[in-house]
Amino acid sequence: MVVRIADHLEGCDTNVQGAVVRDMIMSSFSQNDAISLDFSDVHNVTSSFVNTAFIEVLEHFGMPMIKSHLKITGANRQVAKLIGDRMRIEAAKLSIAA
Amino acid sequence: MKIALPAQFQASAIFPLVWSTLGDLSELPPIVEFDFSELKFARPSGVVFLSNLSRFLTRRKCDVRFVNMRPNTEAIRFLDDALFFEQHIGEKLRQWSKPRRTTQPLQEVSHKNSHAWLRSEFMPWLSDCSGVPMGNLSDLTTCIGELFNNINDHSSYDVGCIFAQWFPKKDLVEISIADFGSGIPETVRRIEPGLSDNDAIIRAFDDGFSSQSTPRNRGVGLHLLHQNVVERFDGKISVRSQSGAVWYARHGNSLRTVPYKADGFCPGTMIDIDFRTDLIDVDEPADGLEVEWW
């Protein structure tokens, strides 16, 4: 499934908006389906959004599931960097804790 | 109670004045009258703080009055053009006052609309002033958005605002954002008791430090602000919160964190940011990227 984020959200700024994306991913993952998120026309994302949309998924399903089932495309540099950085840092924390 | 505003209208000059007249704001007089007769020069931090203080007092049922505004003085014209009086007394002092190209009207950070305003009004204004394309301002948009989220998470009185001024001769933008929340020191000490106000502010900027005021906080916002404004744009961040005062800047190759003793008391938190926009990377922004999992 491909989801164009700008069709679903006015912005990627808040925990509430992050929860919308988190629920889409969780719903796909729970059926073992892959999901592709297209961030075209998204100007920027905040850490609040990323934490809720992706880190909670990471904590629930783990990095191997994300690597095999989640694709993020159409991102500008800020969006790609913040999502990538946050995921890397939180995945490292999880692997240390495990 | 009458409060004579100082000639230099910036927050650092108003904090001692408010402390000496209104104390920690726990007990308020029925009427507070702000006297503008001495006002000579207004800076964004002064505009933001007085606006927040006025809203705070009004919401606490205090009768706030503004007196002796002489519309022919530059500082009063500046405030009028910033729509300060329209927002606080319901009308402009001069009917032809309007926002200047070098300023944004004073904006309350009401969380519902603040992020949309940031993208649709503030960033296009900054892009227009500075000549930096919108696509190269996405990091800054996020930094200010993070501060809006902090205000929403921590401000108990729903009082917060932002004001910005562009200085074309210096290619410099000055942004002040402040709230009337519990303040960084009190929030940090819920997790790490015993820190001084200055040490608590410094701790709040550590990567990954979170007050856990909401379960999803991960403590990234202030660190991101530092990374972008100080490390990338060579700018300066100044923070006042309660009795704490810290500034951050680059000095040569080193990044400096300077706590200092400041007069007065800042209810909530005030963050002043300034940086040169000609140092922002204006290379063609990359779009259409795929996030690479490692």
For residue range B95-125, list pLDDT tens digits in order: 999 999 999 889 988 767 889 999 999 999 9
Chain A residues within an 8 Å CB radius of B283: none
Computed over every residue of chain B, the mean pLDDT equals 90
Closest CA relative to residue B9, chosen from B84, B90, B99: B84
Which candidate in A5, A37, A45, A47 is best for mutational testing of the B interface (most B CBs within 10 A)?
A47
Give the residue on B whose Cα is nearest the Cα of A64: B293
Q: Which residues of B132-141 are buried (b: 16+ CB within 10 A; e: fewer)?
A: beebbbbbbb
Pairing of strands B2-4, B31-35: parallel
Q: What is the pLDDT at residue A94?
A: 84
B281, amino acid identity: D
Q: Does B215 score more than 60 pLDDT?
A: no
DSSP per position, B66-130: EE---TTSHHHHHHHHTTHHHHHHSS-SSTT----TTBPPPEE--HHHHHHHIIIIIHHHHHHHH
Residue B152: pLDDT band with limits 50, 70, 90: confident
pLDDT(B218) > 80: no
pLDDT band at B156 (very low <50, low <70, confident <90, very high): low
State whether residue B286 is helix, strand or coil. coil
SS (H, E, C) A4-54: EHHHCCCCECCHHHHHHHHHHHHHHHHCCCCEEEECCCCCCECHHHHHHHH
Q: What is the pLDDT of residue B159?
A: 72
- Asked if A48 and B291 come within 8 Å (Cβ–Cβ), the reply is no
Contact A77 B138 (CB under 8 A): yes
Q: Which residues pair with B66 in a beta bridge?
A: B34
Digit-coded pLDDT (tens) for A41-69: 999 999 999 999 999 999 999 999 999 99
Size of interface A-B (CB pairs under 8 A): 100
CB contact under 8 A, B289 and A48: no
Q: In the predicted model, is pLDDT for residue A25 greater than 80?
A: yes
B116, B217, B291 member nearest A84 (Cβ): B291
Asked whether the predicted pLDDT for residue B36 surpasses 80, the reply is: yes
Closest CA to B224 of A85, A18, A56: A85
Averaged pLDDT, A23-35: 97
User: B210 to chain A: which residues are within 8 Å by CB?
Assistant: none
Q: Which residue of B has its CA nearest to A93?
A: B208
Q: How far is A86 from chain B (nearest CA, A)?
A: 9
Closest CA to B149 of A79, A11, A37, A87: A11
Provide the pLDDT for residue A98. 66
**Percent residues over pLDDT 90 in chain B:** 65
Phi, psi of B153 (to 5 degrees): -75, -30
Task: Using an 8 Å CB-CB cutoff, list chain B residues near A83.
Answer: 291
Mean pLDDT confidence for B73-79: 93
Out of A13, A15, A63, the one facing B216 most closely (by C-beta) is A15
- Do A51 and B216 count as a contact with CB atoms less than 8 A apart? yes
What pLDDT sits at residue B84? Answer: 95
* Residue of A43, A59, A65, A87 to mutate, interface with B, max B Cβ within 10 Å: A43
ipTM confidence? 0.92
- pTM, whole model, 2 decimals? 0.91
Residue B59: count of CB within 10 angstroms of its CB: 12
Are the Cβ atoms of B142 and A46 closer than 8 angstroms? yes
Model confidence at B213: pLDDT above 70: no
**Residue B92 at interface with chain A, using a CB cutoff of 8 Å:** no
- What confidence score (pLDDT) does residue B76 get? 95
Higher pLDDT: B38 or B284? It is B38
- What is the pLDDT of chain A when averaged over all its residues? 94
